[in-house]
Amino acid sequence: MTEESIAKLKVDGELSVAVVSDLHAYEEVGEARPSFYCIRDEFEETPLGALLPLFDKEALQADILVCPGDLGDKANPAAIREAWLRVHEIGDHLGVHLLAGTVGNHDIDSRYVHNDHDPKGHLQNLKPPFPLPEVDQNDRFWSRNYEIVLHDAYRLVVLNSSAFHGAGQDEFQHGRISNYTLDALKQRLHETENRPVNMLLCHHHPQKHMEINLGDYDDMRSGQLLTDLLGNGEFGEWIIIHGHKHHPKICYAQGGSSAPVVFSSGSLCHVLFDELNTVAQRQFYILRFPFAKYSSTGLVGTFRAWDYEFKYQWGRPTRKSGLPSRGGFGCREKPAVFAAQIAKWLGTRVVPWSEFVDEFPWYEYLLPQDQHALRTTLANEHSINVQSEEEMPVQIGAAS
Amino acid sequence: MNSSVRKTAFYEAFNARALRPEEVAERFVPSDAFRRLIRQAHSIVVGPRGSGKTTLLKMLQQPALETWAHPDAEAYRAEVTYTGVFIPTDLSWKTQIESLGAHDFSDQDHQLFEGAAFTVHVLHALATAMIYRVHRGPAAFSHRRADLPWLKEQAIVKEISSIIGVSPALPTLISLKHALGKRLTRLREVAVRERVLQKEGRRERLAMEQVLKMWYLEPTISCIEVFNDAVGEPRARWALLFDELELAPEWIREQLVNATRSVDERILFKLSLSPYDENVVQDSMLAPMQDNDYDAIALWHASREDGYNFCAALWQSLLSARGHSEATAEATLGPSIFDATEVALRTHGAYGPRSSHRRRFRDLAKKDRTFADYLSAKGLDVNSLEEGDENARASEIRKIISIVATRETYRVPDDSKGRQRVRSRKNPKLYVGAKSVFAMVEGNPRWLIAIGSRLLQGSDDEGRIPEAVQSRELMSAAHRFQAMLETVPVPKVGDHTKVSGVADLVGTIGEYFFRAVVLEDFNPDPPGSFIVDSNLHPDVVSILGRALNVGAIVYVPRERESVLVGDLIGKRFRLCYLLAPIYRFPIRLGREVSLSTIIRAMSEEGAHQTTLFK
Ligand SMILES: Nc1ncnc2c1ncn2[C@@H]1O[C@H](COP(=O)(O)OP(=O)(O)O)[C@@H](O)[C@H]1O
Ligand SMILES: [Fe+2]
Ligand SMILES: [Fe+2]
Ligand SMILES: [Mg+2]
């Protein structure tokens, strides 16, 4: 961690986290390619390399870069090595003070293709150290299946949901957090102070994620116990960032109103199988946590998403992308209540969107689906419409 | 890598089509054409690809004028007392229905859909222009802002919505614009439905469709009226800027061209068109334009001097962008051999004992019997050219300088033993210098920007471009251009024409000129332009039309002949000067010959042709 970037974080009062997930880097050219990231291609012509011009164009920066697993495809050691190095390059360009990865099912050689006895040795020998920058952090990660990174502003749990791959017969089909790990984690959470931003990074989804027949066999076993633990109020408010499904989605975990936010990152590079193609694109994200105001708001935040388009370019998501170009999380107000407040304030006027946001700063911390629900309620119950341009609201007011 | 000239369009990346008005304004250099276009008159801008048609029209939009920071910008802005409404030709006017595979649509059905899509696009552009006038954030040079309080906006949107039959989500101009966008979706739905339902009962169904009923003119006038009244400018004018009309359905184009005759005085029409369209009965369409209803503005330059000022200004802006704001065109590109004005010759001591012209005269006379004969017949002595003080003699020399230089560059000595008849020059220095470069880019901003930025990559600290860099880059641009010509689609032609496409035809003409200038006996006034005569096969004429649109040939109107080409027969053309280093002809407008003569002469040559040029 550089002194400078930590000082900056304090001044901003905001933590920003960039997400690159499920790179599925591969080496062999020839057969059907699993992703757009062949390590033999020019880096600039891969989705990962194409991020660099995007960073320049939009002056993007971040404090942390996380990579929730599946660096490589089918555990190809050379591809994983290259991808891990390149991910650091991305982190450097963003100016992050921490880069954290975790293990995906494709990172583990659970079918013993590349050797017959050590499914994860290539990960333990990666340089820079994997999944965290310090060797002793990683020692704990590999021995306990999780590690915690602490900072004034945040607490980051890096969990290995593929810890048992390579062992049991069908274990590699899904993720798992074992009861031992859960107990140990609970203990550690008690021992560490709650932070404004509490994040858990893992590969598998901690709750069912069954959209468009993606299957319901591959989730993190005992994931519900994990979300219950994080959402019980004792350990602050949480966001879980995971990969694996390649289906971008943001929602709250089951439970009460302090259940964790679950951010399912889309894949950065994957060739999307047919079912996915119409509802998901390759995406890159930056999440923002304005923690300076958390004493009055609790954990809220916003995200931005970009789509990988043809020809090595990143651009604005469309309706079929998974996550929209902007959205939020953390505000759990019911649309009906919110809509009534808005209607009262608005009367018969039409106002520019900026005026509305000044009055209702909460709006931007609604999940995309809650924003949609709110707009529907506004239209149906109060005859209030929102006019957007290029998917961004520009005006709100009483319908004509 | 080097030899593989990619067969793509010619610098299409430099295109104003996708630029926002603000972006267009950032680099805009005004031209004579702009000065004319901006006037309160109906105008039609005609030019080949890349000549700046889209740019000119886009500059008349408010956001462009409001960001344009050129030193003369204020004066231009003051002249724009109307609101520019930019309407790009949308292919959907023509192809939407075809793309659905609705083959059983009658022409009338087609026109219904085309007209409706066209109307929606015009109204959409109109709403956009209104939004610009009311709702833009702060600008560098505020221009024609309208004060429209929110309640008034609400009122006019309601009124306009009922005129054009849309229901915007909010009573705002922005919502109005989006509602029009949705109307296109509706149109498409109707088209899809009709394809499914087939012909039976179509007439009745279509007659019921509100979206198909409107033609742009009346609603446009009404909307303008409503807006003008609301902002307190009842007489204010609006300019409809139709770009790329060559892509629009013919009947729409004709409607627009004829519209000026009857239309409301509050509307100005400014159209852009490529020079030639074989599908249009040109003269019938051009007649109204020539009745002075339209000011026809040509964006090409028949003579090489015409485009000079614009090129120099554009070059200056390219130089400034690279930090050479002090440098001039002459200083960075140097003098041109083809610049045979008296001033140029005197300045460079052209006739003096060590001058390059004098050396050329001497060298050519030595190796070329016919030239030596010509000189002695004229009483000119190569060793004392500078003594030609009498005006007559000076002009005698001036007239032939370009020919002498070209001939000297490529001709082998009469007594040479080899079988070769032409000196091979990979990147001849013949074509360097400011005047030559500007002539070769034909005053075409796309070409100048594209080639200019390559040239500037090879410049020294003061922005000077070495001759070697100039000749190399011009040659490579010429090759790219030629490669593009190979790909220009032409209608299938029979072999009776002896020309297979644009590149082939241009090659035949270029070769003919080369022979006349270099290979044949010295001729002080060799042919260098051609007349399209009526003996030509129609296929050849249509190939010429394509050549004209891509800029491979250039129209040279005679005095009092309209710049609008219309029917090609009887008109005079020259080859584009960018092709000069390939076909090795001088940058000069030569005497005219008929194209039939050229084609006949060259096909008699037959087999020789191929051995001459590889
Ligand atoms: N007056 C001008 N000043 C500066 N750049 C220009 C000017 N006119 C055209 N250009 C540039 O030249 C290129 C071609 O112009 P464009 O308007 O697209 O031509 P056309 O519409 O005739 O094909 C564009 O990149 C445009 O920005
Ligand atoms: Fe994956
Ligand atoms: Fe995975
Ligand atoms: Mg154009």
Q: Please give the structure tokens belonging to residue B268.
A: 């100005």
Domains in chain B, number: 3
The band of B16, judged by pLDDT with boundaries at 50, 70 and 90, is very high
Res B136: pLDDT: 72
Residues B45-60 have pLDDT tens digits of 999 889 999 999 999 9
* In a domain? residue B613: no
For residue A3, what pLDDT band results from cuts at 50, 70 and 90? low
CB contacts of B158 in chain A (<8 Å) are 400
Nearest CA to ligand 1 atom 23: B50
Question: Which pLDDT score is estimated for B612?
Answer: 33
In 3D space, the residue among B614, B565, B581 whose CA is nearest the CA of residue B470 turns out to be B581
Grade residue B2 by pLDDT with cuts at 50, 70 and 90.
Answer: very low
Of the two residues B358 and B595, the one the predictor is more confident about is B595
Residues A102-129: what's their mean pLDDT? 91
Nearest CA to ligand 1 atom 9: B52
In this structure, the answer to whether residues B533 and B598 fall within a common structural domain is yes
Q: Note the pLDDT of residue B397.
A: 80
Residues B51 and B179 in one domain: yes
Asked which of A132-146, B7-21, B178-192 is least confident by mean pLDDT, the reply is B7-21
Cα–Cα distance for residue pair A265/A283, rounded to 1 Å: 8
Q: In what order do the strands lie in the sheet with A261-264?
A: A146-150, A154-159, A197-202, A238-242, A261-264, A249-252
Provide the pLDDT for residue B180: 95
Residue B541 located in a structural domain:
yes
Asked if the model's pLDDT at residue B388 lies above 70, the reply is no
Contacts of B522 (CB under 8 A, 6+ apart): B368, B370, B371, B373, B374, B403, B407
Q: Find chain B residues with C-beta within 8 A of A349's C-beta.
A: 150
pLDDT grade, residue A1 (50/70/90)? very low
Per-residue confidence (pLDDT) for residue B278, from 0 to 100: 65
- Domain termination residue (choose one: B252, B273, B298): B298
Q: What is the pLDDT of residue A8?
A: 66
Sign of the CA dihedral A28, A31, A34, A35?
A: positive
Fold of A3-329: Purple Acid Phosphatase; chain A, domain 2 (3.60.21)
Cα separation, B235 vs B229, in Å, equals 9
What pLDDT sits at residue B337?
Answer: 86
Over residues A214-231, the mean pLDDT reads: 89
pLDDT higher at B138 or A88: A88
**Among candidates B322, B308, B583, B325, which has minimal Cα distance to B434?**
B308
Let me know whether B278 and B314 are in one domain: no
Closest-CA residue of A relative to B153 is A350
pLDDT bucket at B611, cuts 50 / 70 / 90: very low
* Complex ipTM over 0.90: no
With beta carbons under 8 A apart, name residues in chain B contacting A387: 168-170, 172, 174-175, 178
> Are B175 and B264 part of one and the same domain?
yes
CATH code 3.60.21.10 region(s) in chain A: 3-329
Q: Domain check: are B464 and B576 in the same one?
A: no
Task: Compute the C-alpha angle B447/B450/B451, nearest 5°.
Answer: 80
**What distance in Å separates the CA atoms of residue B411 and residue B528, rounded to the nearest whole number?**
18
For the ranges A314-318, B109-113, B438-442, B479-483, the lowest mean pLDDT is seen at: B109-113
**How buried is B614 (Cβ within 10 angstroms: 0-12 exposed, 13-18 middle, 19+ buried)?**
exposed
Q: What mean pLDDT do residues B295-321 have?
A: 89
* Preferred mutation among B166, B170, B176 to probe A, highest tally of A CBs within 10 A: B170
Q: State percent of chain A over pLDDT 90.
A: 79
Say how far apart CA B119 and CA B113 lie, in whole Å: 10
More confident: A367 or A280: A367
Task: Measure the CA–CA gap between A257 and A87, rounded to whole angstroms.
Answer: 35
Query: In whole angstroms, how far apart are CA B279 and each of B201, B283, B284, B435, B485?
Result: 32, 12, 12, 37, 21
Contact A336, A342 (CB under 8 A): no
Question: B250: pLDDT confidence band, cut at 50, 70 and 90?
Answer: confident
Residue to substitute in B23, B35, B55 for testing ligand 1 pocket (most ligand atoms within 8 angstroms of CB): B55
Closest Cβ–Cβ partner in B157, B168, B174 for A394: B174
Which run of H or of E encompasses B574?
Answer: strand B572-575
- Are B154 and A400 within 8 A, CB to CB? yes
Instruction: Quickly state the pLDDT bin for B259 (edges 50, 70, 90).
Output: confident
Read off φ and ψ for residue A118, nearest 5 degrees. Answer: -125, 95
pTM above 0.90, yes or no: no
B494: in domain: no
In which element (H, E) is residue A64 found?
strand A64-67
Q: How confident is the model at residue B1 (pLDDT cuts 50, 70, 90)?
A: very low
Owning domain of residue B424: 308-483
Residue that wins the pLDDT comparison between B498 and B134 = B134
Q: Which fold has domain A335-398?
A: Arc Repressor Mutant, subunit A (1.10.10)
Which A residues 314-353 touch B at CB under 8 Å?
349-350
Comparing C-alpha atoms, which of B273, B72, B289, B87 is closest to residue B180? B87
For residues B115 and B194, state if they share a domain.
Answer: yes
Ligand 1: distance of its center to the CA of B53 in Å? 7
A-B C-beta contacts closer than 8 Å: 42
Q: Is the CB of B59 under 6 A from ligand 1?
A: no
**Co-location of B419 and B293 in the same domain:** no
Distance CA B265, CA B42 (A): 11
CB B554 within 8 A of CB B576: yes
Please give, rounded to a whole number of angstroms, the shortest distance from the CA of B169 to a CA of chain A. 6
**Mean per-residue pLDDT, A364-383:** 96
Q: Whose CA is nearest to atom 25 of ligand 1?
A: B14
SS3 A122: helix
Task: Please state the rounded mean pLDDT for residues B484-511.
Answer: 82
Question: Are B446 and B361 within one domain?
Answer: yes
The residue nearest atom 16 of ligand 1, judged by CA position, is B52
**Are residue B95 and residue B135 in the same domain, yes or no?**
yes
- Percentage of chain B surpassing pLDDT 70? 87
User: A387, B150: Cβ pair inside 8 Å?
Assistant: no
Residue pLDDT, tens place only, B546-581: 999 899 999 998 877 777 777 889 999 999 999 999
Higher pLDDT, B288 or B216: B216
Average the pLDDT over each of A155-159, A302-306, B201-205 and give the range with the smallest value. Answer: B201-205
pLDDT at B291 over 80: no
Lowest mean pLDDT among A36-45, B123-132, B192-201: B192-201
pLDDT at B65 over 60: yes
Higher pLDDT, A273 or A96: A96
Same domain, B325 and B467: yes
Structure confidence at residue B99 (pLDDT): 62
Residues B264 and B352 in one domain: no
Single out the residue in B298, B329, B348 at which a domain terminates: B298
Closest CA to B444 of B584, B550, B295: B550
Every domain of chain A with CATH number 1.10.10 lies at 335-398
Ligand 1 centroid from CA B445, angstroms: 5
Give the pLDDT confidence score for residue B613 in this predicted structure: 35
pLDDT of residue B6 exceeding 60, the answer is no
How do strand B572-575 and strand B267-273 relate by DSSP bridges?
Answer: unpaired
Note the pLDDT of residue A169: 72
Q: Which ligand is nearest the CA of A282, by number?
A: 2
Kindly report the three-state secondary structure assignment for every residue of B411-462: ECCCCCCCCCCECCCCCCHHHCCHHHHHHHCCCCHHHHHHHHHHHHHCCCCC
For residue B384, how many other CB atoms are within 10 A of its CB?
Answer: 11
Q: Same structural domain for residues B581 and B445?
A: no
Q: Which residues of A touch B173 (CB under 8 A)?
A: none
Which token pair is A298? Answer: 């609790």
Least confident segment among A74-88, A157-171, A284-298, B409-423: B409-423
Q: What is the pLDDT of residues B69-86, one digit of tens each?
A: 999 999 999 999 999 999
> Cα(A319) to centroid of ligand 2, in Å?
22
